[in-house]
Amino acid sequence: MATDTHATPNLSRYFVPAPSAWPFCLTIALILTVYGVSGYLEDRAIPTTALICAGAALGIFIIFSWFRGVAMESEHGMYNEQVSRTYRWGMSWFIFSEVMFFAAFFGALFYARTLSVEWLGGAGEKGFITNSILWPHFDAAWPTNGPGHVGGAFEIVSPWKLPLVNTCLLLTSSVTITMAHHALKAAHRRACILWMLVTIALGATFLYCQATEYMEAYKELNLTLGSGVYGSTFFMLTGFHGLHVTLGTIMMISITGRLLFGHFKPESHFGFEGVAWYWHFVDVVWVGLFIFVYIL
Amino acid sequence: MAHAHDDAHGHDDHAHGPDKGIMRWIKTTNHKDLGTLYLFFSFTMFFIGGLMSLVIRAELFQPGLQFVDPELFNQFTTMHALVMIFGGVMPGFVGLANWMVPMMIGCSDLALPRVNNWGFWLLPFAFTMLLSTFFLPGGAPAGGWTIYPPLVLQTGNSFPLLIFAIHLMGISSITGAINVVVTILNMRAPGMTLLKMPLFVWTWLITAYLLIAVMPVLAGAVTMLLTDKYFGTSFFNAAGGGDPVMFEHIFWFFGHPEVYIMILPAFGIISSIIPTFARKPLFGYASMVYAVASIAFLSFIVWAHHMFTVGIPLAGELFFMFSTMLIAVPTGVKVFNWIATMWKGSMTYETPMLFAIAFVFLFSIGGFSGLSLALAPVDFQYHNTYFVVAHFHYVLVPGAVFSIIAAIYYWIPKWTGRMYNEAAGKWHFWLSSIFINVTFFPQHFLGLAGMPRRIPDYAVQFTDFNMVSTVGAFGFFISQFIFIFNILACCYGWFGRQRNATAQVWEGATGLEWSVPSPAPYHTFEDPPLVGDDGMPVHGNAAAHAH
Ligand code: HEM
Ligand SMILES: [Cu+2]
């Protein structure tokens, strides 16, 4: 708690956290990591691996400790209604920012499909000139790796195999996490934990399938990140999504751990809900991907 | 309740308070400490960015190459803009939000104090990293702050550091913005309804929304640059089916809201200051709120006015031309309201008011030149000339920067308990206002006559105006030392200055922040006050009222 005895806010009204060094250390961890990665990308003579490992390890340790601290504060009843609302709003806006991050990549996909590829193929008055002077043999089509055939000929992943399986997995997991939530609200802790385990298993299976899909794409279909604009949008969109699934799964594992430790009450369990929201968000993004990246 | 503080400490050394020395600042979760850190950081960046601009202006004093080679010149123009925008203006406004939002809505602190600390500390590290690129082989990024591919992809060793620095600034902005939104939505004192909030709070609410919406888009755009350069993607490579112009679209989808991010809080500040010194309530409060909201909305659908000359389809030219001109309507509403507020007011001209009035005039000049640029056929000639440079400097310097200066003069008695020196403030104002016009007004003519931007040399016929502009720039820079001394004297009590500021400070000031003592206590409101219809606390125990 604030050590300021003189003008401490009314704690039944306001939760004021004590000074903390975690945020500062997290910054250090991030800087070490990105400095290492920068050095690696540019082949600079700095100990890149050491920097990256140190940064990542420090970062993971800090995030764990910071969240542990928050969980403890919550369990010790230091949070009031207002704090709970704060976290709700905070999480919602955070998810909104994530939506906008994906929007940038979806925007790139739509732009490429409806504008840049068409123009390269000769659509419109300016496109006509571009096409006839620069790329006379290029016909607009999707998927494409562009008039330069960047990355060589490739085939695409069929949506009706692993991607369909993955769609089912994620949609089911959204149901099971909701079941877990209902169980928690009804004070059925065991059921809640079981449903959470099912959800985690679904998430992990999704990741396994995606890894398999990527491997097939690289080895058998010659579809890579370098396969022109198709490969770029395909792997960046599904890749960032996969990263979010990974993060969501880790978050689910940690709240399941907290459930095992007896955390959360039927009437107040925002940590749980925040993770559930995040998971639904990841699910919705996937539906967008399934439709716009795989099927159409 | 505010009056409980009358016996509270009249000193800000916090002997009983947080950690001592440097650890206090590293670990602090207090909105006032963080606001102070943000403001000092912003000053430092303004100073560094200002020095870079002096190098640029010195080089442009005469035609030919005198001081820096073209490569370094390009690095300076690029870094000047990045430092000023992401290091100066934005953190300056965040610092003001840190200080003032909790005081204005009647709560103890921001909603997420530890996240607040993180958001701040990312910045000094990110900028150290970015500035360190000057010393790498190949130097700092030199492709312009708009980082257009394919040019920017030719950056050397510093490229990934540029990208990651932008990522970190983005995280900082997003966390800061989430904090502000959540605080405003969730922590208002009883009685502080949305339409009673001071305009500074309103404008920041909307700014924060813009930040959360567009900073991730910038993050996406620079990530695509990174993968295009190092991982073989083809987002901006036509041979692979991508398009460099696509980057411009994504960038300006961020970029145009970004310019409003840098001006909306300024609108809020001006809307606080003018009523105080005109001793009249703000004219058209509700229309001000709606105007800001519509500006924010429109700012999402005008981005391609930065791209009239890249060859977008005719329908695009027309759409973006008209949507851009539409922004002038709500902007006009605001300017009208400020003037109507002053109309028949009992005006006095203390330093904050002087800066606020100058803002109204000079920002409007920037708005007019913006309107000229919004006309697509006209922009074909003006684009990439000094006319654009004049435009955005008018909205950013006598706009955003003057508003930050005005805000500091206006609220520093509340922060430190000491009045600044009024005579020095007036000197600072007059010198700044004169020199800023000397610097930027001639650039309109240069641009109209065809002088291109971002080039270290120019044709001899442009010499006279360039010389004038350079003299103005040096004059402006030197004038700011008056400000620095005035402010530091307030902070540290130099020249034997007493803590002489009353709680209300300004005769005509209204709002919760003026109901607490000066300097404001470390935690402003221990209990939320009950806010009356006039926006001031209702006397008595608020908690008792509220329950
Ligand atoms: C009535 C309002 C405004 C209009 C109609 C307007 C219009 C424009 C247009 C059309 C351009 C592109 C010119 C070109 O590159 O050829 C431009 C550039 C710019 N504007 Fe504005 N603007 C307005 C207000 C503002 C405000 C409030 C700010 C910031 C506080 C601002 C900052 C900028 C900047 C930084 C650029 C140049 C970006 C670059 O190319 O580096 N503008 N404006
Ligand atoms: Cu714009």
Query: For the segment B475-501, what is each residue's pLDDT rounded down to a tens digit?
Result: 999 999 999 999 999 998 887 777 788
List the structure tokens of B125.
Answer: 């590290």
Per-residue confidence (pLDDT) for residue A10, from 0 to 100: 62
Is the pLDDT assigned to residue A6 strictly greater than 70?
no
- Nearest C-alpha of chain A: how many angstroms from B273? 29
* A237 lies in some domain: yes
Per-residue confidence (pLDDT) for residue B493, from 0 to 100: 85
Per-residue confidence (pLDDT) for residue A5, from 0 to 100: 38
C-beta atoms of A10 and B543 within 8 A = yes
Is the pLDDT assigned to residue B5 strictly greater than 80?
no
At B394-422, the pLDDT tens digits run: 999 999 999 999 999 999 999 999 999 99
At B513-522, the pLDDT tens digits run: 999 999 998 8
Give the mean pLDDT of B59-64. Answer: 96
CA distance A171 to B442: 62
Say whether A61 sits in a helix, a strand or coil: helix
The rounded mean pLDDT for chain B is 93
* A111 lies in some domain: yes
Is the pLDDT assigned to residue A1 strictly greater than 60?
no
**Is the ipTM reported for this complex over the cut 0.90?**
yes
Contact call for residues B273 and B348 (beta carbons, < 8 A) = no
Q: Which residues on A lie below 8 Å from B235 (Cβ)?
A: 108, 112, 229, 232-233
More confident residue, A252 or A15: A252
Full set of structural domains in chain B with CATH: 44-72+83-545 (1.20.210.10)
Q: Which residues on A lie below 8 Å from B253 (Cβ)?
A: 107
Cα B320 to ligand 2 centroid, rounded to whole Å: 10
Q: Which residues on B lie below 8 Å from A285 (Cβ)?
A: none
Is B367 close to ligand 1, i.e. is its CB under 6 Å away?
A: yes
Give the mean pLDDT of A63-73. Answer: 93
Is B89 close to ligand 1, i.e. is its CB under 6 Å away?
A: no
- Nearest C-alpha of chain B: how many angstroms from A124? 8
- B452 - beta bridge partners? B385
Helices marked H in B136-263: 159-186, 199-230, 244-261
Residues, CB-to-ion distance under 5 Å, ligand 2: B 256
Per-residue confidence (pLDDT) for residue B17, from 0 to 100: 59
Per-residue confidence (pLDDT) for residue A9, from 0 to 100: 59
Per-residue confidence (pLDDT) for residue A11, from 0 to 100: 62
* A71 lies in some domain: no
Q: Chain B window 96-115: which residues touch A at a Cβ cutoff of 8 Å? A: 107-109, 111-115
Give the mean pLDDT of B105-127. Answer: 96
Instruction: Give whichever of A13-17, B154-158, B204-208 has the largest mean pLDDT.
Output: B204-208
Is B147 close to ligand 1, i.e. is its CB under 6 Å away?
A: no
C-beta atoms of B28 and A19 within 8 A = yes
Per-residue confidence (pLDDT) for residue B12, from 0 to 100: 41
Is B259 close to ligand 1, i.e. is its CB under 6 Å away?
A: yes
Least confident window among A80-84, A227-231, B307-311, B497-501: B497-501
Which ligand 1 atom is the nearest neighbour of the CA of B371?
5
User: pLDDT grade, residue B533 (50/70/90)?
Assistant: confident
**pTM (two decimals):** 0.94
At B209-255, the pLDDT tens digits run: 999 999 999 999 999 999 999 999 999 999 999 999 999 999 999 99
List the structure tokens of A224.
Answer: 């890579």
Which ligand 1 atom is the nearest neighbour of the CA of B85?
35
Per-residue confidence (pLDDT) for residue B18, from 0 to 100: 67
Question: Of B79, B92, B21, whose CA–CA distance to B51 is shortest?
Answer: B79
At A256-291, the pLDDT tens digits run: 999 999 999 999 899 999 999 999 999 999 999 999
The rounded mean pLDDT for chain A is 93
Among the bound ligands, name the one nearest to the CA of residue B392: 1
Active site residues of B: 80, 109, 145, 172-173, 256, 258, 260, 271, 305-306, 331, 334, 453
Per-residue confidence (pLDDT) for residue B6, from 0 to 100: 35
At A223-247, the pLDDT tens digits run: 999 999 999 999 999 999 999 999 9
User: pLDDT grade, residue B2 (50/70/90)?
Assistant: very low
| DSSP, residue by residue, B426-480 | HHHHHHHHHHHHHHHHHHHHHHHTTPBSS-S---GGGHHHHHHHHHHHHHHHHHH
* A202 lies in some domain: yes
C-beta atoms of B157 and A44 within 8 A = yes
Per-residue confidence (pLDDT) for residue B547, from 0 to 100: 37
* A62 lies in some domain: no
Find the CATH number of the domain harbouring A245.
Answer: 1.20.120.80
CA distance B187 to B192: 10
Is B518 close to ligand 1, i.e. is its CB under 6 Å away?
A: no
Residues whose CB is less than 8 angstroms from the CB of residue B368 and which lie 6 or more positions away in sequence, other chains included: none
| Percent of chain B residues topping a pLDDT of 70 | 95
Q: Which residues on A lie below 8 Å from B8 (Cβ)?
A: 6-7
* A168 lies in some domain: yes
At B326-353, the pLDDT tens digits run: 999 999 999 999 999 999 999 999 999 9
Which ligand 1 atom is the nearest neighbour of the CA of B305?
10
Is the pLDDT assigned to residue B473 strictly greater than 70?
yes
Question: Of B474, B347, B491, whose CA–CA distance to B408 is shortest?
Answer: B491
List the structure tokens of A110.
Answer: 């739509």
Q: Chain A window 141-180: which residues touch B at a Cβ cutoff of 8 Å? A: 144-148, 150-151
Q: How many domains does chain A have?
A: 1
Q: Which residues on A lie below 8 Å from B223 (Cβ)?
A: 236
User: pLDDT grade, residue B193 (50/70/90)?
Assistant: very high
Contact call for residues B248 and B76 (beta carbons, < 8 A) = no
* A59 lies in some domain: no
Which ligand 1 atom is the nearest neighbour of the CA of B255?
38
Per-residue confidence (pLDDT) for residue B541, from 0 to 100: 47
User: pLDDT grade, residue B19 (50/70/90)?
Assistant: confident
Ligand 1 pocket test: pick from B253, B362, B373 the residue with the most ligand atoms within 8 Å of its Cβ: B373
Per-residue confidence (pLDDT) for residue A80, from 0 to 100: 85
By residue range, what is the domain housing residue A255?
106-116+145-295
Say whether A12 sits in a helix, a strand or coil: coil
Q: What is the DSSP letter of B400?
A: I
| Percent of chain B residues topping a pLDDT of 90 | 88
Per-residue confidence (pLDDT) for residue A3, from 0 to 100: 38
Least confident window among A21-30, B14-23, B458-467, B495-504: B14-23
Per-residue confidence (pLDDT) for residue B35, from 0 to 100: 97
* A26 lies in some domain: no
Least confident window among B24-28, B43-47, B89-93: B24-28
